[in-house]
A and B are shown apart, each in its own frame.
Chain A
């Protein structure tokens, strides 16, 4: 049977790709980080059209679970979950930073940084790949101020290359296939927020002076 993989990532912009038997047939990326809800349906629909596949032909859905800014990240995961439910296909969660470094050689230690807002970065340090091509993580994913992270890595004596930080849904899909091949695919899909919700129980304040 033909394997048709739909890959979705909204950890930064909105990224969608369709892979047929391991070959990337369509890929789209909208860099706007405020348009996930608007973009997601159209990009999936157009991606399938460009790959000349009907939604019912999709056999597996892969989604980037972050880290990434929460509001956008959730749109892609919600979409992937419901698309998979809609066609009764399995769903795989893939680390968004893992997907970013997937296309790198990773011979040298390689650091990937993405915008975590609030003057912080999401980060992961990788080196080497498994036989199937899955990146091996040294540190992370985590979230920190960039200066603190650099100081920490320097103290620990890490030299590293800096990876291009744009996530590609095509690479995310290829990584999902590699994970499926080696049996490490993650089917329990949970958003990797890396931060607790910003809320503190109110002590209650006096109204009158």
Chain B
């Protein structure tokens, strides 16, 4: 379904030439020139293929005696534009140039082609020259661009990520797509007697946990603070006072070690953990993020440039609903694991609790939105009504039926989002993913629908600093600029 990249071989020559002629017309290279390029020891040619079909190719030239490299050519089939193929080809060639110790990469681009120029600019290339009448016979000028590798793209940057958006102080360290450390200090126990996260308690706990969490992360990664190439931090969405602790800490750390800082969106970062497990994120993907603070459905076409919020909860987050119902049932905090445990002995069909925002009348405005407050009220009423009649309430049945209602809505809407958008995969994130029933139902229904399901390990599902570092590392490897030092925190930061 989706495209993949690999090194080109001589066997690809015919397909490449076909695409070359379509793309460049009377400006095309000849077949012997292309063969020589493909076979030369100083070149690296990649092809992007979907199934067996070649949909793009690109080449890099780097002579051993020179410190500079050249992008020789790049082309993506018309029908496969806007899928990020050109960007991926460029990124891999930049990475290759970096591995070959090039310090700069040059390319020429037609002056009359704004789209590729924009891509190159996003990747960090800068215009350095213009050559009149370069492309013949059209007489179009070439813009010469240069990327200085040492200052922008780095093949495997060591990034330290700080996450303080809710009740977990997370500091993680990655090297490129490799996880080096993921340390989490949770203030969950301090919130237990309040039945939910108290923002002021969370913020105080972050401040107290900072130093020890940082030291442990460095120790786990086996590096010193001098090895860090960049600092990343969540600047939203989340609890404002809690976010500010992380942002203040991250900014001062970045200034202290004189390294760039990247402000990162918490929700998008939840999706970015997949690159730590699989090396890259397969796109497009739908992401279902479910925690005590969020219930969101994202459509990710490109991790760095194209993430769309399809829907989110309009009242309680799913995790919050678990906490509140746990209290109604006399179970302890956090409610998710407790309800999960009790529900194992219950009948999920015993009580038909409402599925929020699933009625036809809700579909226009709330196709992918969630609502759990009505469900919460229905469960509480059920329990209170039974108690007032002096009836015995089966906590196991109520827990199982409640859990079923939550899971049913989450998975149904996530799969609808995949199918409606023609997306063949779903990734889960957030602490509620620990719920066994959610995992089981998601697995079964995804299999039924032919959707690939990704569930990261739990330590990467819950809020953590590694996901923040991972997303920033992706930005760095794509040559994206760091954040300016004056960014703020945004409790409702859009994706």
Contact = CB atoms under 8 A, between A and B. Distances in A.
B380 A44 contact: no
Nearest to A56: B258
Contacts of B201: 197, 199
A112 to B, nearest CB: 24
B354 interface: no
A199 B256 contact: no
Given A74-B245, A208-B380, A44 B252 contact: yes
A71 B255 contact: no
Most chain A Cβ neighbours within 10 Å, of B208, B255, B257, B384: B255
Contact of A40 (B195, B251, B381): B251
Interface stretch (A78-86, A92-100, A176-184): A78-86
Contacts of B215: 85
Nearest to B204: A197
Nearest to B483: A41
Interface stretch (B101-109, B270-278, B342-350, B486-494): B486-494
A99 B253 CA distance: 25
Contacts of B210: 78, 81-82
Nearest to B247: A37
Interface in A6-52: 10, 35-42, 44-45, 48
B257 A76 contact: no
A54 B214 CA distance: 23
Given A41-B261, A41-B486, A42-B485, A74 B248 contact: yes
A118 interface: no
Contact of B244 (A74, A87, A199, A202): A74
A160 interface: no
B252 A82 contact: yes
Interface string B235-271: 0000011011111111111111110010000000000
B385 interface: yes
A207 interface: yes
B200 A83 contact: no
Nearest to A190: B208
Given A41-B485, A41-B486, A74-B203, A86 B248 contact: no
Given A36-B248, A41-B486, A197-B198, A55 B381 contact: no
A199 B214 contact: no
A121 interface: no
Contacts of B207: 74, 77-78, 81, 191
B203 A71 contact: yes
A91 to B, nearest CB: 9
Contacts of B488: 35, 37-38
B225 interface: yes
B211 interface: yes
B200 A199 contact: yes
B200 A80 contact: no
Interface residues of B, number: 48
B367 interface: no
Nearest to A40: B248
A208 B248 contact: no
B433 to A, nearest CB: 27
Interface in A168-209: 190-191, 193, 197-202, 204, 206-208
B24 interface: no
A77 B486 CA distance: 18
A4 interface: no
B377 interface: yes
B252 A71 contact: no
Nearest to A80: B252
Given A55-B258, A74-B245, A82-B214, A204 B194 contact: no
Contact of B257 (A10, A55, A201, A202): A55
A126 to B, nearest CB: 27
Contacts of B281: none
Nearest to B200: A197
Interface in B177-217: 193-195, 198, 200-201, 203-204, 206-208, 210-211, 214-215
B211 A83 contact: no
B255 A55 contact: yes
B221 interface: no
A75 interface: yes
A87 B257 contact: yes
Interface string B50-86: 0000000000000000000000000000000000000
A38 B208 CA distance: 21
B13 interface: no
Contacts of B203: 70-71, 74
Contacts of A197: 198, 200-201, 204
B327 interface: yes
Interface in B279-319: none
Contacts of B245: 74-75, 78
Given A74-B244, A75-B245, A82-B210, A41 B200 contact: no
A65 B256 CA distance: 20
B328 interface: yes
B244 A71 contact: yes
Nearest to A45: B255
A80 B207 CA distance: 11
Contact of B249 (A10, A39, A81): A81
B252 A40 contact: yes
Given A81-B211, A207-B381, A76 B248 contact: yes
Which 10 pairs show the lowest CB-CB distances between chains A and B?
A86-B256, A41-B251, A79-B252, A75-B248, A207-B380, A197-B200, A83-B252, A78-B248, A78-B249, A82-B253
Interface of A: 10, 35-42, 44-45, 48, 54-56, 58, 70-71, 74-88, 190-191, 193, 197-202, 204, 206-208
17 contacts: A40-B248, A41-B486, A44-B251, A48-B255, A55-B255, A75-B245, A78-B210, A78-B245, A78-B249, A79-B248, A82-B252, A84-B256, A85-B256, A199-B201, A201-B194, A202-B195, A207-B377
Given A70-B203, A80-B252, A86-B255, 19 more contacts: A40-B252, A41-B251, A42-B485, A42-B486, A45-B255, A45-B485, A48-B255, A55-B258, A83-B255, A85-B215, A86-B257, A191-B207, A197-B201, A198-B200, A199-B198, A199-B200, A199-B201, A204-B328, A208-B388
